[in-house]
Amino acid sequence: MRLHRLPKFLQRLLPHTEWRGPVPAGSKPLYLTFDDGPIPVQTPFVLEELARYQARATFFCVGENLERHAEVAQQTLAAGHRLGNHTYHHVSGWSLPPAGYVAEVQQCQQALEALSGTSDSRPLLRPPYGRITRAQAATLHANYRLIMWDVLTYDYDAAYPASTCLRAALAHTRPGSIVVFHDSHKAQRNLRAVLPQYLATCAAQGYSFEVL
């Protein structure tokens, strides 16, 4: 079974995390996020699609991809998007003690700051797979905003038909949703089929696309 939105009681198990974005009165913001890049081909495709709607988004970057494909990351920043931390090696917090996980996050953050030339006062962190322990979250919360999601599209699932992926993503979308796509090779088929239609439908419904 695919849970596009985790139940509230599961979200409460991690009190230091954010699952939705702000919704100012009279607005319909969406917070599109893209995980696992930056990489050639897939990330530029996303940037082209976002530009069609003057959409801004947040890209949670794997540190080693940042260093391999710095030019793609610079292109993302130049287009007005925000970069966030997705650990250096895309590791599960469940497989590491707090100190080891914090080291992964810090290594990625160093790569982000070297790329941008600035230090973010409260950088964004998304745990790969959403897997982070309460102890890790409590430690990192002092210096990072821990961003989870309101809508997980499952675009990375090769067994998930694109039409079903799109339909489910739209059905769960609401103002303030933090929506997860992936700019990765694994997600290529669904990403290319679903993202253009998702953007077009949400724009037609009056949503705006904002950075976190």
The domain segmentation of the chain, as residue ranges, is 26-209
pLDDT digits (tens, 9 = 90+) for 73-114: 999 999 999 999 999 999 999 999 999 999 999 999 999 999
The C-alpha atoms of residue 49 and residue 197 are separated, in whole angstroms, by 10
**Backbone phi and psi for residue 27, each to the nearest 5 degrees, phi listed first:** -120, 165
Task: Let me know if 35 is a catalytic residue.
Answer: yes
The C-alpha atoms of residue 209 and residue 212 are separated, in whole angstroms, by 10
> What's the whole-model pTM score?
0.96
Which residue is catalytic, options 4, 69, 90, 182?
A: 182
Angle separating helix axes 188-204 and 162-172, nearest 10 degrees: 40
Answer whether residue 120 shows pLDDT above 90: no
The CATH number assigned to the domain with range 26-209 reads 3.20.20.370
Which residue is catalytic, options 35, 36, 155, 183?
A: 35
Mean predicted lDDT score pLDDT of the chain: 96
CB atoms inside a 10 Å sphere around CB 73: 25
Whole-number pLDDT of residue 117: 82
Cα–Cα distance list, 185 to 38, 67, 157, 160 (Å): 11, 18, 11, 15
Task: Let me know if 182 is a catalytic residue.
Answer: yes
The mean pLDDT of 124-149, rounded to a whole number, is 96
